[in-house]
Every structure is written in structure tokens, then in C-alpha cells.
Amino acid sequence: MYVETGQVSKQGGVYKCFGHPDFTIKVNEGDILPKCTKDKPHDALWVKVAIAKKESEQTNSD
């Protein structure tokens, strides 16, 4: 899911800048996406980061 700077997020969560994948922000539902402030402030394409990871999936065969 992508949201641009100035648009309202329909899903809260963590978003990362498309151009700066290491730069993430926390956004609440209904918030307007800010500019990315990495390097210089710029209009960004924000990419939703999936946080729900399963760490308990281990394939252990012996």
C-alpha cells in the first residue's frame, strides 16, 4: 500500500520512504503523510511496512 505526502492515511502503522527505505515513520489512521526529512525534506511516496512477522516459524528437521 502506498500513500503520498499530503494524502490521508487510511491505515495506521509504520511507513517507509520509497527513496529512503531506512527512514520510517509512525502514522495513525487519518493522519496526513508528512514530507520525508531524510537528507532534505521532500515529497515522498510512503510504503506501508508490514510489522506482523512470525518469528516462531522454524523448520527443524533432524
Binding site for Zn ion (CB under 5 A): 17, 19-20, 36, 38, 44
Q: Which one, 17 or 27, has the nearer CB to Zn ion? A: 17
Q: Which one, 5 or 31, has the nearer CB to Zn ion? A: 5
Q: Which one, 12 or 19, has the nearer CB to Zn ion? A: 19
Residue nearest to Zn ion (CB): 36
* Contact call for residues 43 and 3 (beta carbons, < 8 A): no
Q: Give the start-end residues of each E strand in the chain.
A: 2-4, 13-17, 24-27, 45-49
* Contact call for residues 19 and 44 (beta carbons, < 8 A): yes
